[in-house]
Amino acid sequence: MGGWTGQFLRVNLSKGVCSKEKLDPTIARDFIGGRGLASKILYNETDPKVDPLSPQNKILFATGPLTGTGATAGSRYMTVTKSPLTGAIASSNMGGYFPAEMKFAGYDLIIVEGKSEKPVYLWINNDQVEIRCAEHIWGKTVWEVEDLLKAETDEEAKFASIGPAGEKLVRFACVINDKHRGGRSGVGAVMGSKNLKAIAVRGTKGLKVARKDAFLEVVMAAMAKLKAAPVTGQGLPTYGTPIVVNIINAHGFFPTRNFQEGVFATANKISGETMRETTLIRNKACFGCPIACSRVTEVKEGPFKGVGEGPEYEALWSLGADCGIDNLEAVTKANYLCNELGMDPISVGATLACAMEMYEKGIISESDVGRSLNFGDPEALVEMTEKAGRREGFGNVLAEGALRVAQKYGHPEFFMGVKGQEFPAYDGRGAQGMALNYATSNRGACHVRGYTIAPEVFGIPLKMDPFTTEGKAAIDKAFQDITAIVDSSGLCLFLTFGIGMEEILPMLEAATGAGYNMENLLKAGERIWNLERLFNIREGFTAADDTLPKRILEEPIPAGPAQGKVARLSEMLPEYYRLRGWDEQGVPTNEKLRELGLA
């Protein structure tokens, strides 16, 4: 067997003990790795109703069998835990260099449990693992931490760390890899609650695949296909994800001013095309990635001066259009702040947008905020981003996320999201498949659990009308299951714009030799999705949580190409449950659980 290292690391911070354990090959095969494997371990090892920010919660850093193997874009891992934002299962996907370095150090996963009395960081140098004092770096930003720890560990070490936001338990704090890569659902707050500031890793071991020649052959074929495909060969390398700004705006479901509109008149000012002409220095890749979609950028002068990476499409939307802001330099600055302080820019922008709407409607006052909070104010954006990350002033309110802000002021209807997690950058009213995906996603509103925008806008792998509900339940289920496979393998989801299961299956099989075929691999994806569902049911989630805000269900988009559209969830959800083999309450039937080996 290959791909997996076959070993994982368990770190108990309460006891100050690190131990190495062997990976169960059957569980590894059935749940693949990454998101799937870590969800299985979290499900088995934690009690239901555990407080996400208590020592009883665990956080898992989980690579997949393809991470670090030379597979195209095999750069990813997942941080899996119970989310302090949603109370549901959280799995945040990240790339960069850290995940592969974990594999070269000899670990498929790192499980962190308990809570340290004092701030600590973990230093993993191949077989040697130390829990070290982090009092001198507590309070520092992610960027400062990486530079300081590099000096006291190894020049070649890679880092996953939290900033002040994670320390202060901001509910949408993230773990940041390699300075610029974070994820959603508040996994950074869980790390902060354990007083774990960072993980530093250096690995110099080799990683084997089961059938080398077959593996290299399929990797070469995948590489050629990715280069030839328009999105992965041209669009993403040239413009990065920001290429999507103008496209979605032109389709009329680019959510604007907290989803009050679907078209942002000046969207081009925050588009990939404008970025390329102004802030972009060059592009950059994650480990082993032929696409290289990341943007290294700079704001050269003025109040928003800075250097860093991004923003990505989602952040251009959340910190931009959703807050009514078309000042690219301010949006870029706010994005840098999110990376430095360790926060998910989607939730930051979306929470601010929610507060801005309530401010303009007179529900939140100037004295509540300590300043004006109108849509379109770039100074407010930058100031509030910094304050949220440090829980200062009104930032302390924003740090709770949009749902809790809306509830605090007695108007939960202004929360635009699902299961406590704010929507990302597509209005479900304009893309019915995405609406269904948001409602059913196991981590709350999320676009990368079943990215139906691929068929609904880009025509990949086939063109579907975004406004119809027909066939959407089936495509959602298929996309969700395949995404679970991709996320669990250690691959990047963006590959699926250029290659499909015809490449992913042979890559995974040649790497692992675990006996995967199309049938059992697709079953594994479905198994992972159902396991996450079981986790959430155990936490008390029901079919009533598979819903969308009233605005999305009942208030039509006021103007533009998607004018008059609402999300017709009730036309899709029963069929979705049926296709999933769940009962009318959205609970997997015993028959389905037996079929998946989850009974």
Using CB under 8 A as the binding rule, the residues of this chain from 167 to 196 that contact another protein are: 179
Out of 17, 220, 559, 579, the only residue in the binding site for another protein (CB under 8 A) is 220
- Give strand pairing partners of 198: 121, 161
Residue 112 or 157: which CB sits closer to another protein? 157
Out of 15, 20, 136, 212, the only residue in the binding site for another protein (CB under 8 A) is 212
The CB-of-156 to another protein minimum distance in angstroms stands at: 8
Q: What CA–CA distance (Å, rounded) separates 517 from 496?
A: 18
Out of 216, 265, 579, 599, the only residue in the binding site for another protein (CB under 8 A) is 216
Q: Nearest Cα to 469, choosing from 435, 513, 420, 418?
A: 435
Q: Is 41 in the site for another protein (CB under 8 A)?
A: no
Using CB under 8 A as the binding rule, the residues of this chain from 240 to 299 that contact another protein are: 281-290, 292, 296
Q: Is 61 in the site for another protein (CB under 8 A)?
A: no
Q: Nearest Cα to 448, choosing from 92, 98, 191?
A: 92
Tally of CA atoms within 13 A in the half-sphere of 508 that contains its CB: 30
The CB-of-285 to another protein minimum distance in angstroms stands at: 4
Residue 285 or 474: which CB sits closer to another protein? 285
Q: Is 205 in the site for another protein (CB under 8 A)?
A: yes
- Strand order from edge to edge, sheet including 294-299: 280-284, 294-299, 306-309
Mention every residue, 6+ apart, whose C-beta is less than 8 A from residue 83: 52, 89, 90, 185, 186, 187, 190, 420, 421, 443, 444
Binding-site string for another protein from residue 130 to residue 169, where x marks contact by CB under 8 A and - marks none: --------------------------x-------------
Q: Nearest Cα to 174, choosing from 27, 305, 343, 405?
A: 343
**Element spanning 282, H or E:** strand 280-284
In angstroms, how far is CA 445 from the centroid of its own chain? 11
Residue 289 or 445: which CB sits closer to another protein? 289
CA angle 53/56/62 to nearest 5° reads 85
Q: Is 228 in the site for another protein (CB under 8 A)?
A: no
Q: Which stretch binds another protein (CB under 8 A): 218-226, 239-247, 371-379, 425-433?
A: 218-226
Q: Nearest Cα to 569, choosing from 545, 587, 593, 535?
A: 545
Which alpha helices (DSSP H) does 256-312 contain, by range?
A: 272-277
Residue 278 neighbours by CB distance under 10 Å:
15
Residue 104 or 541: which CB sits closer to another protein? 104
Tokens coding 223: 């590489």
The CB-of-562 to another protein minimum distance in angstroms stands at: 36
The CB-of-472 to another protein minimum distance in angstroms stands at: 34
The CB-of-290 to another protein minimum distance in angstroms stands at: 4
The SS3 assignment for 17 reads: strand
Whether the CB-CB separation of 259 and 323 falls below 8 Å is answered with: no
Q: Is 463 in the site for another protein (CB under 8 A)?
A: no
Residue 257 or 295: which CB sits closer to another protein? 295
Out of 133, 307, 579, 599, the only residue in the binding site for another protein (CB under 8 A) is 307
**Element spanning 528, H or E:** helix 518-538
Tokens coding 99: 């995940």
Residue 31 or 287: which CB sits closer to another protein? 287
Per DSSP (E only), the strands in 13-52 are 17-22
The CB-of-496 to another protein minimum distance in angstroms stands at: 17
Out of 53, 62, 207, 245, the only residue in the binding site for another protein (CB under 8 A) is 207
Q: What CA–CA distance (Å, rounded) separates 497 from 454?
A: 8
Q: What CA–CA distance (Å, rounded) separates 101 from 63?
A: 10
Strands 176-177 and 196-202: unpaired
Q: Which amino acid is residue 555, in one-letter code?
A: E
Site size toward another protein, by CB under 8 A: 35
Strands 17-22 and 7-12: antiparallel
Out of 46, 69, 86, 92, the only residue in the binding site for another protein (CB under 8 A) is 69
The CB-of-292 to another protein minimum distance in angstroms stands at: 4
Out of 206, 302, 362, 410, the only residue in the binding site for another protein (CB under 8 A) is 206
Residue 298 or 392: which CB sits closer to another protein? 298
Please state whether 504 falls in left (phi above 0), alpha (psi between -120 and 50) or beta: alpha
Cis, peptide link before residue 461, omega less than 30° from 0: yes
Q: Which stretch binds another protein (CB under 8 A): 20-28, 188-196, 207-215, 364-372?
A: 207-215
Q: Which amino acid is residue 171, in one-letter code?
A: R
Cis, peptide link before residue 25, omega less than 30° from 0: no
The CB-of-328 to another protein minimum distance in angstroms stands at: 18
Q: Which stretch binds another protein (CB under 8 A): 7-15, 203-211, 345-353, 365-373?
A: 203-211
The CB-of-142 to another protein minimum distance in angstroms stands at: 13
The CB-of-26 to another protein minimum distance in angstroms stands at: 24
Q: What CA–CA distance (Å, rounded) separates 476 from 439?
A: 11
Residue 503 or 545: which CB sits closer to another protein? 503
Q: What CA–CA distance (Å, rounded) separates 162 from 187?
A: 10
Tokens coding 423: 């929507």
The CB-of-159 to another protein minimum distance in angstroms stands at: 12
Residue 222 or 425: which CB sits closer to another protein? 222
The CB-of-386 to another protein minimum distance in angstroms stands at: 21
Using CB under 8 A as the binding rule, the residues of this chain from 83 to 112 that contact another protein are: 97, 100, 104
Q: Is 508 in the site for another protein (CB under 8 A)?
A: no
Q: Is 223 in the site for another protein (CB under 8 A)?
A: yes
Q: Is 209 in the site for another protein (CB under 8 A)?
A: yes
The CB-of-323 to another protein minimum distance in angstroms stands at: 28
> Is the alpha carbon torsion for 385, 386, 392, 396 positive or negative?
positive
Residue 180 or 269: which CB sits closer to another protein? 180
* DSSP letter, residue 110: E
The CB-of-555 to another protein minimum distance in angstroms stands at: 44
Q: Is 68 in the site for another protein (CB under 8 A)?
A: yes
Q: What are the residues binding another protein (CB under 8 A)?
A: 68-70, 97, 100, 104, 156, 179, 203-209, 212, 216, 220, 223, 226-227, 237, 281-290, 292, 296, 307
